[in-house]
Amino acid sequence: MSIDIGGMRIRYKDKDETFLEKHLVSKEPFGQFKAWFEEACSRKEILEPNAMCLATATQDGIPSARFVLCKGYGKDGFKFFTNYGSRKAREMDENPNVAATFYWEVLNRSVRIEGYVEKLSAEESTAYFHSRPVPSQVAACASYQSTPIESRDILCERESVLEANYMIPNKEVPKPDYWGGYILRPKAVEFWQGQRDRLHDRIKFRKPKNSETPDGKILHEGEDGWVYERLSP
């Protein structure tokens, strides 16, 4: 079976809504991300503006991707949390190079991030773990993420046992050793905005290559050691 969906398209922004270099609110990627992210957060139609598609790969280059929730960002990078036994964690252990993409359809905007990950400290992971709702803490303990399981009933049984032990006042759920956080440290961040005529706007921040000098035409000098350039759509 072959289904033709070539005619599916939506209307993007018009020519009077382009994203130009003069529209950058920051000459480094984190300030620009903050502006776009806050705008996404202000739109009630966007239910999870912090959802990002995280792409990992094995040491042999076999890729996989899934959505995770970004739980913090700043000039040090983008933070997220997961099970350290999951497929993505195993792949990041052997190959720390990853990519992540935010997509806000309502705004016709996307942010692409390329870089590498490092584990967060046990202290930071524990602090975040205990900030989560208790049922979410229990679920993290009940699931050995990405491993095959006979049925959902098995998960429910584990959950019931844990709830009986920990869903009582003033009793803390211990963070499992196999659960914690990562920080994605970017080497490149691209800001994309869709245009109706498909001449989409793409402005990419990256770290300069050795002996590379901004010329002010193609490559522009940014802040904090970043340079930026416009890419063809």
Selected catalytic residue, list 11, 112, 198, 230: 198
Decide: 64 and 57 in contact? Cβ < 8 Å: yes
CA distance 37 to 206: 19
* DSSP at 121: P
CA distance 227 to 14: 28
The answer to whether residue 198 is catalytic is yes
Dihedral over Cα of 16, 18, 21, 25: its sign: positive
How far apart are the two ends of the chain, measured CA to CA in Å? Answer: 32
Of 16, 30, 10, the closest CA to residue 191 belongs to: 30
CA distance 193 to 13: 8
| CA 25 centroid distance within chain | 21
Give CA separation, 47 vs 22, 175, 231, in Å. 30, 28, 30
Please give the sequence-ordered ranges of beta strands (E in DSSP) within the chain, or none if there are none.
Answer: 51-57, 63-69, 72-74, 77-83, 97-104, 109-119, 179-193, 201-206, 219-221, 227-230
Q: Give me the active site residues, please.
A: 198
